[in-house]
Amino acid sequence: MSDVLNYNPDCLFCKIIKGDIPSNKVYEDDLCYAFYDIDPQAPTHFLVIPKAHIQSCGAVTAEDAALVGHMFQVIAQVTKELGVTDFRVVSNCGAQAGQTVPHLHFHVLAGRDMTWPPG
By CB under 6 A, name the one of 31, 37, 60, 82 that touches ligand AMP: 37
100 binds, among Zn ion, ligand AMP, none (CB under 5 to 8 A by kind): ligand AMP
User: How crowded is residue 119: how many other Cβ atoms within 10 Å of its Cβ?
Assistant: 4
56 binds, among Zn ion, ligand AMP, none (CB under 5 to 8 A by kind): none
Distances (CA, A) of 65 to 26, 57, 70, 103, 117: 23, 11, 9, 16, 27
Nearest to 88 by CA among 33, 29, 46: 46
The answer to whether 105 is a known catalytic residue is yes
Amino acid at position 49, single letter: I
Among the residues of 4-114, which ranges form H helices?
12-18, 65-82
Name the one range near ligand AMP by CB under 6 A: 26-34, 58-66, 68-76, 95-103. Answer: 95-103
Q: What's 87's DSSP letter?
A: E
98 makes contact with ligand AMP (CB under 6 A) = yes
79 binds, among Zn ion, ligand AMP, none (CB under 5 to 8 A by kind): none
User: How crowded is residue 103: how many other Cβ atoms within 10 Å of its Cβ?
Assistant: 24
By CB under 5 A, name the one of 45, 53, 105, 107 that touches Zn ion: 53
93 makes contact with ligand AMP (CB under 6 A) = no
The residue ranges that bind ligand AMP (CB under 6 A) are 12, 21, 23, 35, 37-39, 92, 98-101
Task: Write out the catalytic residue numbers.
Answer: 105
